[in-house]
């Protein structure tokens, strides 16, 4: 099972939907009732709550079909390269 199936979510779920699904599953499967199931739920939430881990899971999953626009927008961008002039400046700086 993948993280979306564990939490009962669609592949295009928002961060708030992921958090709510996690809290509902934890209420349903508390750690004292089933430690194995709780760990599975916690691991799924860890994967989906971190944008980088979520993107990695999306690219590795061959059945994923949701758009990546909102996820890619949430990733930190170090520097945008827009044209050969910026590439030239970066190469010259090295």
List, for residues 34-83, the tens digit of each pLDDT value. 899 999 999 999 999 988 888 877 777 655 555 555 555 555 555 555 55
Q: What is the mean pLDDT of residues 14-27?
A: 93
Instruction: Evaluate if residue 26 carries a pLDDT over 70.
Output: yes
How high is the pLDDT of residue 56? 78
Q: C-alpha distances in angstroms, 82 versus 73, 78, 87, 88, 89?
A: 17, 13, 8, 11, 12
Domains of the chain, CATH where assigned: 3-93 (1.10.287.110)
């Amino acid at each position: 099972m993948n993280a979306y199936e564990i939490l009962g979510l669609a592949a295009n779920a928002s961060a708030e939907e992921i958090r709510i699904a996690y809290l509902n599953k934890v209420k349903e499967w508390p750690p004292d009732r089933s430690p194995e199931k709780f760990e599975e739920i916690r691991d799924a939430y860890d994967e989906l709550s971190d944008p980088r881990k979520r993107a990695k899971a999306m690219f590795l999953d061959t059945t994923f079909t949701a758009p990546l626009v909102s996820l890619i927008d949430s990733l930190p961008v170090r520097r945008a390269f827009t044209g050969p002039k910026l590439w030239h400046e970066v190469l010259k700086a090295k």
